[in-house]
Structure 1
Amino acid sequence: MEKITIYHTNDMHSHLTYWPRIAKYLSDEKKRKKSENETVFVFDSGDATDRMHSLTEATEGKAIASLLHEGEYDAITIGNNEGIGNTKQQLNNLFADSVYKVVVSNLIDKETKARPDWAEEVVLLETVKNHKLALIGCTIPLPLSYDSLGWEVKDPIETIANVVQEYKDEVDGFILLSHLGLGTDREIASLFPEILVILGGHTHHLLPEGEKVNNTLIAGAGKFGTHVGIVTIELDHSYSGHLTAQVIDARTHLKEIENERSQIEDLMTLGNTMLESEKLGVLSNPLEKQWTKEPNLISLTLDAMRASSNGDGAIVNAGLFLKSIPEGIANRKQIHEALPHPMRLIEVALTGKHLMNMLKEMERQQDYLKTLPVKGYGFRGEVFGEIRYQGIDVNDEEVRIDNNKIIMDRLYRIITVDYLMYVPYFPVLQKASKVKIISSDFLRTIVGNYVKNQYPSS
């Protein structure tokens, strides 16, 4: 009989409040287990980075990728924040200096038709007593976003089936790092008895004692770096395993380390300083986050959106705008704080008839959406907010595009954010015949560049 201990995290999203104590705990536990000649691994199941944090934004995620070394991780997979929260070049550079393995079994470079150099299809693990395990990593497929960035994300269940078939005769069992969500984890567990453990993420599920589906143990450590998961596997000579899971609450069960708060503050200060140093332009008037006198941040953003692709009109929800930008020298930190969401612009092709139906649908929901609390899909605000337009005029009698009456069978190109494709409020938009992401840059980068062009500093 051999006991294998796995420490795991997921969905930290660059929340570093408890990171120093977590890193010390992981490192100390790994050293302790090894000194007792036990097998121990440390894994992360994705979304360790999140560019809402100033240092993550300023370093394109590399600061967080580097911090993981403090926890002595053996391997990680990527979540959507790594995968679509970066351009292709940024993701290709993200793990350039990483000592740990990055396993993403279902990611392919569209150009080379191969897995990127920094990612592995499977990581083969060997225990102290010579058991062999195969580590798989799968990230959630979001085809619209990944495709526009130059990646193909394959179906995770098909991918797992292929990997299991290829390696099942070489190993004693499989471990899956899943950034797919709890529902998919349960489905995978029901389909693949060869998988001993699924370490899950994406849906931020906290499973204090794990969840057993057939012979597979599903584990999850919540979100935002508040918990560490621990899984133990006891393998006997017949390669059947006794599996247990638990979680440690970092807030109450891990000791605050010396200078912890100042360490975290220093990281934030460094990020802010780096972003502040990037000047964009000089504003003669403040850009308010509310729809007040022109120009305001919303109207300027709509102008920037429409200018980015020559669309017939632009649409955005006011809840995206979290801070105003004062007059004077505007910098990248201000834009980041105003628009922290990892969202990109899309161009949607709609016939006049479908566009009219969508706009009327939006108008009907204005009062409801104005104060509706929303989460997920990259949204970092509090409420959805009012829907605002540029180049579009909607009233009770008619819809006009650039002051012209809408033509029912004409195709119109509307610019908005990819977020609106994922929320459930606008089914007409989701059924659009043609949708493309305009740029790999985030909305805030496009707005920042527009400020630079419209309000040059010299």
Structure 2
Amino acid sequence: RDFTNEQYHIYNINNVRVGVIGLTYHPMAGMANPTSLLGFNSLDPIETAQKLIGQIDSLTDIIVLLTHIGIENDRELARSIKGADIIIGGHSHTRLDTAEIVNGVLIVQAGSYARYLGRLDLSVARDSVIAHKDTLIALTVGNWTPNPRLQAIVDSLAAEIDARFAVPIGTLKNDWKIGKGPESNVGSWLAEAIRAKTGADVGIVNSGGIRRDIPAGPITLKDIYEMLPFDNYVTSFTCTGAELLKIFGGEVENETGSSSHGALQISGAKYSFRMKDGKAEIVEVSVGGRKLDLAKNYKVTTIDYVILNKDKYLHFNPRNIQSTETLMSDMIIEAIKNAKIIDSKLEGNIRQVD
């Protein structure tokens, strides 16, 4: 279907009127570059769902909420509304082997990256689901015969992409791994690359912008564009040491709490933190090998996405903002070409201590 601002659609499936309401993450400002959201406004999922359920309840036999808000928010949504029958969720990449039932609402989610196809069979009577069977079908390569016509299109496009982008630009001596901890070898290397290029004191890269690992061996343009798919421009700003401390303090609070959104990868600075009475606190910070000076001004290089989402990442208003007008992916490609062989490791930039 072409894009519309349609908030719901009613399907007739085997003489059952199925109302489907679409709900997305709210607020969207922290999930994407705000400049790409101009003209769009995300609405509160709970309030919106209840309003639309009221509008279509008499026109439907069952109501499905098709969401992209994550499993925890799906559960809260189910607890907070009346009149919905099913939530088909996304965003958190959760594989639910069996449907959950929360406040009488079935919640299903089929993982991520097309590894599974979710199937939900329903028996419906008197505007209610009276029985269901949910199944996850593993989409294992080799178990299915590709459609020849579609496969030909895919092969043609893949050949065109490879011809343009499967071009080696350097060599990795070890795997680049995003990892699950506060620091990753790829994150540290990327942060150092943009810091060094711009002559900044500190380099910062958000982990959420690094979208894939890259194995050791030849590294290609295609690898970089897949790893850094967003059109983010390398941008610098000025802050005091006290403000830099706010960035790092906010990070350890997020990473050790329930609202983790992916650590900021850093270079040019190091900090340690510890847990005290169930809360994280910064122990020590250094920049350029010297103890952080709270009154000193430091130049920090990051990407425009981080600055535009300053409330999420920086916790203050940055000053002297200057764009390089260079995409991060382009700057990294240049850095790899110059380095030729990359031997990256964990630098110990972020450490938890006793």
Q: TM-score range by the shorter chain?
A: 0.5 to 0.7
Residue aligned with 1:205, SS: coil
The DSSP-based 3-state class of the residue aligned with 1:195 is coil
Amino acid at match of 1:148: P
* Superposition pairs of residues 173-188 of structure 1, within 5 angstroms: 173-188=62-77
Which segments of 5 or more consecutive residues in structure 2 lack a partner in the other structure? Answer: 177-185, 273-282, 341-354
432, 439, 456: which is aligned to 2:315?
432
Q: Does structure 1 residue 134 correspond to structure 2 residue 19?
A: yes
Secondary structure at 1:206 match in 2: coil
- 1:248–1:353 CA distance, 2 compared to 1 (3 A): closer
What's the secondary structure of 2:32's corresponding residue? helix
CA contact (8 A) 1:349 1:433 kept: no
CA RMSD of aligned residues (A): 5.5
Give the deviation of 1:274 after TM superposition. Answer: 0.8
1:216–1:230: structure 2 CA closer, same or farther, 3 Å change rule? same
Work out the CA distance in 1 between the residues paired with 2:338 and 2:322.
Answer: 22
Deviation, 1:136, is 0.9
Q: Does 1:191 align with 2:80?
A: yes
Given the alignment of the two structures, is residue 150 of structure 1 paired with residue 36 of structure 2, yes or no? yes
Indicate conservation of the 8 Å contact 2:200/2:301, yes or no. Answer: yes
* In structure 1, C-alpha distance between the alignment counterparts of 2:239 and 2:152, rounded to whole Å: 47
Contact 1:349/1:413, CA 8 A, preserved across alignment: yes
Q: 1:304 to 1:245 in 2, by over 3 A?
A: same
Question: Structure 2: how far apart are the matches of 1:200 and 1:341?
Answer: 24
1:245 aligns to what? 133
**TM-score (normalizing by structure 1):** 0.48
Alpha-carbon deviation of 1:406?
5.9
Aligned residues: 301
Q: Please give the per-residue CA displacement for 1:308-363, whole angstroms capped at 9, x wherever unaligned.
A: 7x86531359998735686xxx85224246x357695676764312425766999x
The question of whether the paired residues in 1 share the 8 Å contact of 2:243 and 2:316 is answered with: no
1:277 matched residue in structure 2:
164
Which residue matches 1:36? none
* Residue identity matched to 2:112: K
Provide the identity percentage.
19
SS of the residue corresponding to residue 221 of structure 1 reads coil
Q: Quick one: which amino acid aligns to residue 315 of structure 2?
A: A
| Alpha-carbon separation, structure 1, partners of 2:195 and 2:92 | 31
- Deviations 1:420-446, CA, capped at 9 Å, x for gaps: 99xxxxxx9846213799799974355
> Which deviations, in whole Å up to 9, do the C-alpha atoms of 1:184-207 show, x marking residues without a partner?
112212222311111122223333
> Hey, what does 2:300 align to over in structure 1?
414
Quick one: structure 1 residues 438 and 220, their matched pair in 2 at CA, closer, same or farther if it must change by over 3 Å? Answer: farther
1:223 counterpart = 2:101:
no
Q: Which residue of 2 is the match for residue 389 of structure 1? A: 267
Of the three residues 39, 48, 55, the one matched with 1:166 is 55
1:207 to 80, 88, 96: 96
Does the aligned pair in 2 maintain the 1:182–1:205 contact within 8 Å?
yes
Query: Is the CA contact (8 Å cut-off) linking 2:121 and 2:133 kept in structure 1?
Result: yes
Displacement of 1:128 after TM fit?
A: 4.0
Structure in which a larger fraction of residues adopt strand: 2
The residue matched to 2:85 in structure 1 has which SS? strand
Describe the shift of the 1:394–1:226 C-alpha distance in structure 2 as closer, same or farther (beyond 3 A).
closer
Note if contact 2:66-2:88 (Cα within 8 Å) is conserved in structure 1.
Answer: yes
1:199 and 1:220 in contact (8 A); partners too:
yes
Deviation at 1:218, TM superposition (A): 1.2
Between the aligned partners of 1:361 and 1:303, the Cα distance in structure 2 is 24
Q: Which range is displaced more, 193-202 or 142-151?
A: 142-151
SS class of match (1:125)? strand
Letter in 2 for 1:414: V
Structure 1 stretches of 5 or more lacking a match?
A: 1-99, 102-116, 370-375, 422-427
Normalising by the residue count of structure 2, what TM-score does the alignment of the two structures yield?
Answer: 0.60
- Kept after mapping to 1: 8 A contact 2:247/2:313: no
Residue 7 of structure 2 aligns with which residue?
121
